[in-house]
């Protein structure tokens, strides 16, 4: 990767959003699998617009781009086999909305599964897919791999709870799929196509998730353990 390319990437994400430091590149050369391959550089975008500009530039310059979350894959899915650029989405880590009335949450891809679960549990809700790496894995990776877990036999996997997506395609075009409605049956189901596509169709930058009420024993446990701390149990209030 030549100097002009690196300077252009710095222009897009800023000096603190780009790295070609050896210690960083070694970190990005592996995930939880046994596979290894060092990238040429890495970027930390913070907005959808930055992701779009990076992909547009990379497409024009024919630079391979590998999106990455927490790197918990056991199958080498975040390994940059052809070198190029690793796009770490860890700084896009905001929970944008939790709407209990509509039973949905809107999050960025870098939000850790356990962080969302903690927020939702205070409202008496949860996001059912429960991957084994839930304490560290990010929701963008969950969607990209259609992650599931031990609760999958009862609740299904991630694809059953993704209502809508914002995705940046290879040439930099920003695409929105799906709907905030629980039932949306018109047109092609591009959301389902993108869930599980493992970064091959686009980079996920925003996720709208369907929420589910916690099972009653979990609600009772939450009341017993957290109400003493002054938190409000909105579920109990709603039942009154």
Residue that is written with structure tokens 């969607």 in the block: 143
Residue 187: its pLDDT value, please?
85
Is the Cβ–Cβ distance between 159 and 195 less than 8 Å?
A: yes
Q: How confident is the model at residue 226 (pLDDT cuts 50, 70, 90)?
A: low
CA 198 to chain centre: 11
Residue 100, strand partner residues: none
Residue 219: its pLDDT value, please?
57
CATH number among 1.10.8.50, 3.30.565.40, 3.40.50.2300, 3.30.465.10, domain 95-213: 3.30.465.10
Q: How confident is the model at residue 216 (pLDDT cuts 50, 70, 90)?
A: confident
- The topology under which CATH files domain 3-88 is 3.30.43
More confident residue, 18 or 229: 18
Backbone phi, then psi, for 51, in 5-degree steps?
A: -60, -45
Q: Is the dihedral of CA 69, 72, 75, 78 positive or negative?
A: positive
Residue 203: its pLDDT value, please?
98
Structure tokens at 213: 């009420």
Structure tokens at 30: 């592996």
The overall average pLDDT reported for the chain is 91
Backbone phi, then psi, for 46, in 5-degree steps?
A: -120, -10
The model's pTM is 0.87
Alpha carbon of 223 to those of 122, 218, 237: distances in Å? 9, 9, 12
Kindly report which listed range (45-59, 189-203, 215-229) carries the lowest average pLDDT score: 215-229
Residue 37 CA to residue 150 CA, distance in Å, equals 31
Residue 130 CA to residue 117 CA, distance in Å, equals 10
Q: Where are the domains of the chain?
A: 3-88, 95-213
Residue 223: its pLDDT value, please?
59
Kindly report which listed range (27-41, 145-159, 165-179, 224-238) carries the lowest average pLDDT score: 224-238
Residue 16 CA to residue 118 CA, distance in Å, equals 30
Kindly report which listed range (78-82, 144-148, 221-225, 229-233) carries the lowest average pLDDT score: 229-233
Residue 223 CA to residue 228 CA, distance in Å, equals 8
Residue 95 CA to residue 108 CA, distance in Å, equals 6
DSSP helix/strand/coil, 57: helix
Mean pLDDT, rounded, for 91-109: 97
Mean pLDDT, rounded, for 13-28: 97
HEC string for 182-195: CCCCCCCCHHHHHC
More confident residue, 190 or 182: 190
pLDDT at 99 exceeding the cut of 90 = yes
pLDDT, tens digit (0-9, with 9 covering 90-100), for 53-77: 999 999 999 999 999 999 998 888 8
Q: How confident is the model at residue 52 (pLDDT cuts 50, 70, 90)?
A: very high
Residue 27: its pLDDT value, please?
95
Angle between helices 48-61 and 3-13 (to 10 degrees): 160
pLDDT, tens digit (0-9, with 9 covering 90-100), for 37-46: 999 999 999 9
Residues 155, 158, 160, 162: what is their CA dihedral angle, to the nearest 10 degrees? Answer: 140
């Amino acid at each position: 990767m030549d100097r002009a390319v690196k300077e252009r990437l710095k222009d897009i994400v800023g000096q603190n959003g780009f790295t070609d430091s050896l210690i960083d590149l070694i970190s990005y050369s592996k995930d939880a699998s046994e596979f290894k391959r060092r990238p040429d550089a890495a970027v930390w975008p913070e907005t959808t617009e930055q992701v779009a500009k990076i992909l547009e530039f990379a497409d024009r310059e024919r630079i391979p781009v590998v999106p990455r979350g927490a790197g918990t894959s056991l199958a080498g899915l975040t390994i940059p086999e052809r070198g190029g650029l690793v796009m770490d989405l860890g700084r896009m880590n905001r929970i944008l909305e939790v709407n209990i009335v509509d039973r949905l949450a809107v999050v960025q891809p870098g939000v850790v599964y356990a962080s969302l679960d903690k927020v939702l549990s205070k409202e008496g809700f949860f996001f059912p897919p429960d991957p084994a790496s839930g304490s560290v894995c990010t929701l963008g990776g969950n969607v990209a791999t259609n992650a599931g877990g031990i609760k999958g036999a009862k609740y299904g996997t991630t694809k059953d709870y993704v209502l809508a997506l914002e995705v940046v395609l290879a040439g930099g075009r920003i695409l929105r799929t799906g709907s905030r409605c629980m039932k949306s049956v018109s047109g092609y189901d591009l959301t389902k196509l993108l869930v599980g596509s493992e970064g091959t169709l686009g980079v996920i930058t925003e996720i709208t998730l369907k929420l589910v009420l916690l099972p009653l024993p979990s609600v009772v446990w939450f009341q017993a353990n957290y109400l003493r701390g002054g938190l409000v149990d909105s579920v109990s209030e709603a039942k009154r």
